[in-house]
Copies of this chain bind each other. A is one copy, B any other.
Amino acid sequence: MSKKKHPYRLYLTEEQMPKQYYNLRADMKELPEPMLNPVTKNKATLEDLLPVFCEELARQELDDKTRYVDIPKEIQEMYRIYRPSPLIRAFNLEKYLQTPAKIYYKFEGNNTSGSHKLNSAIAQVYYAKQEGIKHLTTETGAGQWGTALAEACSYFNIPLSVYMVKASYEQKPFRKDIMRTFGANVIASPSNTTKVGKEILKNHPNTTEAVEKAVTTPDSKYVLGSVLNQVLLHQSIIGLECEKAFEILDEYPDIIIGCAGGGSNLGGLMAPFMRDKIKGKHNPRIIAVEPASCPTLTRGKYTYDYCDTGKMTPLAKMYTLGCDFIPAPNHAGGLRYHGMSPIISKLYHDKYLEAVSTKQTDVFDAAILFAQKETIFPAPESSHAIKVAIDEALKCKETGEEKTILFGLTGTGYFDMTAYSSYLDKTMTNYIPTDEELEKSFPNIIED
């Protein structure tokens, strides 16, 4: 055990900040399966990706060899406005739980977008700007990604169209207005403005069409806040900062916990620790936490599937519930994506990481306790990780083990008050899909 004094919040100095992203694929013993062209079913090439993504990002998507990627000065400059994010020791939560475990969390909510999504938004907008892109499109569910992207687009001065899941658009008018604050054009999706939109509108009332808009508009590209390899690359800054902070503390986490929707947060948080695990240098447990209502890793299939509902992006091999899967309407917050990052999927398949799913009301129990003890109001997404961190700390209480637990506190819950209100009013319900329900949305695209 380290003898160093633990501060409540550890901030790296500007000199200590990472200057490069870390590409975990370069150290994986077995790589994720390649993406496939959705029409030919052949291995996707750079050319296949260019209609959707800008060139540098397409390159990052495919590059599984370059271990470290320099973070351009302009991106570092914008990171400096809100980074480093603090690594916080949850002394008060520990005391309340009476656990011998040390609980640390990396808090990514210290910016207007309120989540870690800004880390990749800035990178994606910067590269697009560099390549002369004049317009960006994206889709957003709970709204964290859309907000982050609006913020980055405002900073780099690029117009943005956000297709927002219709249910969220209607239930979260404030989320829409935050995006408008940053100058974004927010459209409830599916809309009647695209072919995909009209098609989807017929079959599903809750999905999006940003890809078509990008593909059919000149100098326009599509950006996505999770799942993609490029996103995990950018989000590695979370893990790299944590690694440095633990170095300063002269400690190493025994358990690393991240909520997982598409995998952007967990993939970034775990990156350097997973590297150590792959190399046999350390052996931390790494745990993905997902909602029981959208159980991609724990109950999904490991197979090729579309990344988007519109079926226009390349196919990726991943754990998926099927690109037609939509969580039950009582599901609050994000973590609603049907698939999981191919990198995380492969590592889970190869047993480098564990996955658990949690019920919504248990998640909010944990969220409220955390808010009361730690003075941060957590996003429902982040609270999945809180719930499992508490569970692990309580196990340590039973066994007396002084484990070091690290979890990712991805963001704040100020735009999720409707969910909090329903929890407080005891009208919140849980929904766990039956096997039959899941079977209906499983895809059958490529035989595994």
Contact = CB atoms under 8 A, between A and B. Distances in A.
Interface of A: 7-9, 11, 13-14, 80-82, 91-92, 110-113, 118, 151, 154-155, 173-174, 177-178, 180-183, 368, 371-377, 412, 414-415, 417, 420-421, 424
Contacts of A414: 412, 414-415
Number of copies: 2
6 contacts: A81-B92, A82-B375, A112-B375, A174-B417, A177-B417, A181-B377
Given A112-B376, A375-B111, A414-B415, A424 B154 contact: no
Given A7-B13, A7-B14, A8-B80, 5 more contacts: A9-B11, A81-B91, A81-B92, A111-B376, A112-B377
B371 A424 contact: no
Given A414-B415, A415-B414, A421-B174, A112 B181 contact: no
Contacts of A374: 81
A237 to B, nearest CB: 15
Contacts of A155: 92, 372-373
A37 to B, nearest CB: 38
Contact of A424 (B8, B181, B417): B181
Contacts of A412: 414
Nearest to A84: B9
Contacts of A180: 424
Contacts of A376: 111-112
A81 B177 contact: no
Nearest to A370: B112
Nearest to A425: B177
Contacts of A14: 7-8
A412 B9 CA distance: 20
A95 B373 CA distance: 39
Nearest to A422: B177
A443 to B, nearest CB: 38
B371 A181 contact: yes
A332 to B, nearest CB: 14
B81 A375 contact: yes
A389 to B, nearest CB: 17
Nearest to A173: B421
Contacts of A112: 371, 375-377
Given A8-B81, A112-B377, A415-B414, A182 B151 contact: no
B420 A177 contact: yes
Contacts of A417: 173-174, 177-178
